Amino acid sequence: MYSFTLTCKSSATPDVPAVSKNAYATTDYARPLAPKSITASLNSPNLTVNWLPPSTSTAPISFYRIQINNVTVDNNIPNDKTSFQVSGEYKYDTDYKIVVSACYKNNQHSSVCSLRNGNEISFRESKPSTTSTITTATASATAAAPTPITATTAPPPKSTGVHSYSISISMIIFSLLFFI
């Protein structure tokens, strides 16, 4: 805000006192700085955009604006939000240019937004891989439906170092008689 005094005096009537009036003027802020650390994620068909507010700004932020491929998708995101879900027909394996701008309403009630420098990202997300199921069937002589085979693995048994054998008493006696 500026304050100034305007003083007027007529040269034609030097005996008339000068008239002074104080006036005030408010200038607009400069353009806000751009948001930073813009990221996006896709959960088709919706796109979620995240950002951090500028660390310092030359103007108060009134709202944020998001543009995707040069089309404004929202022009009034509240200034306390740093994430926004954009509903639409967004698809995997498609290139998108995303711009997040910090904006404020100036004294003439016009929107003044940050420059695109530093607040534009190129985004493309690949389609998530799907888990494939493999069914193995056994061959049979009849025309029955395939039988799924389920294989499980187990660790080999641990050896305790002591081995035991099951021997019958009659076998021991027979062996002794045979060798005598």
Residue 17 in domain: no
Which residues, in sequence order, are CB contacts of 78 under 8 Å at separation 6+?
A: 63, 64
Segment among 5-14, 68-77, 143-152 with least mean pLDDT: 143-152
pLDDT of residue 176: 65
Domain count, the chain: 1
CATH number of the CATH domain containing 116: 2.60.40.10
**In terms of residue numbers, what domain contains 86?**
36-123
Per-residue pLDDT band at 98 (split at 50, 70, 90): very high
* Per-residue model confidence as pLDDT tens digits over 24-35: 766 667 788 899
Which of 29, 26, 22, 21 lies closest to 2, judged by CA?
26
Residue 134 in domain: no
Segment among 47-51, 161-165, 171-175 with least mean pLDDT: 161-165
Residue 5 in domain: no
Residue 94 in domain: yes
Residue 73 in domain: yes
